[in-house]
Amino acid sequence: MKIENLKQPPLNTTLMGTLRGVADHFGIDTSDASLYGGSGHAFVINIHEELCPSGPYCWDGGPFDRLIRNLGIARTDHGFFPPQSSAEARSELESILKAHLDEGRPCSLLNLENQLITGYDDTGFDTVQPWYPRNKDFPPKRLSFGSWAEFGDGFHVNFFSYEPIDPVSRLEVILASLTYAVDLWENPDRHTGSGYGIGPNAYARFIQAVKAGAGDSHGNWWNATVWAECRTMAAAYFGEIAGAMPEISKLAQDLSGEYGSIAESLSRVSDKEMDSAEKVSLLEMTRDDEAACIAKVAQCVEVIRPR
């Protein structure tokens, strides 16, 4: 079986590519900016102390799941499966996913990247390759039942299903997402695990790693690329807010421009050839710019919060 017209666009942030595909499948009429912003992901930056490319994937997804419910999407995590997972556990999981797909409910997996699962046949699941044909082999386009051979020997995978629910008002979406943005910055330890840093801690780890010689690494390029995309969407989100909420229009217009500048700075940071001292200076400036933005986001929250 196959869910027709279930697509995953080639976004760098594959989590958001899956969400875009799910939203389109459910007929949710919202922009990319509103998906990134309303889910809170426009404001995330998570960096490992060694600047490995796992930063975009290893943070607390609980708030994300709560925020996307506001948009009309419920995501269920069906668990984590390492290579040692049993045949029985895999078979049970496969049956659950097939049942969701049979009902027209999209599923996805996270193993290095997020991929939508669009259907299945007698031998396995069909999975989206978001960057095909640029990347023809990664991530894989199939997942064989039982063996999961396409993952290789070292996989660490989670599986998810999605269903539509009633969304909340636009005010509630915006208020919840901006409140989350502030909390990410003010309480970063709540939102990620050991070895990682979010918000100001992310910048501290990024700077430390560049000073230690990781500025020319794949992790430097990929983290900066993903988080730059998120800040580009934050800029667009505030552009939409400026037009929809007169009471914070000026603040939102300012934030749109400022997050756009942060996105440009992070895009520059992605350059593996940039001099380390220049990169550290740019990261320090970007950190300070983001701190100033968060102060304005907090002002927006205070203005629009119901009294």
4-48: pLDDT as tens digits: 999 999 999 999 999 999 999 999 999 999 999 999 999 999 999
Looking at the fold, whether 3 and 116 belong to one and the same domain comes out as: yes
pLDDT at residue 6, as a whole number: 97
- pTM above 0.75? yes
Arithmetic mean of pLDDT over the chain: 97
Q: Does 10 fall in a domain?
A: yes
Can you read off the two tokens belonging to residue 110?
A: 């996270």
Domain span including residue 277: 170-304
pLDDT at residue 148, as a whole number: 96
Q: Could you check whether the bond before residue 139 is cis, i.e. omega within 30 degrees of 0?
A: yes
Q: Which one of 115, 144, 164 terminates a domain?
A: 164
3-state DSSP assignment of residue 138 = coil
Residues of the chain under the 70 pLDDT cut: none
139-165: pLDDT as tens digits: 999 999 999 999 998 889 999 999 999
- List the one residue out of 227, 247, 242, 241 whose CA is nearest residue 290: 227
Q: Does 101 fall in a domain?
A: yes
Q: Does 11 fall in a domain?
A: yes
- Contact criterion met (CB below 8 Å) for 256 and 242: yes
- Contact criterion met (CB below 8 Å) for 237 and 37: yes
- List the one residue out of 27, 13, 38, 10 whose CA is nearest residue 106: 27
Looking at the fold, whether 226 and 130 belong to one and the same domain comes out as: no
* Pairing of the two strands 113-120 and 124-127: antiparallel
Q: Which one of 108, 141, 164 terminates a domain?
A: 164
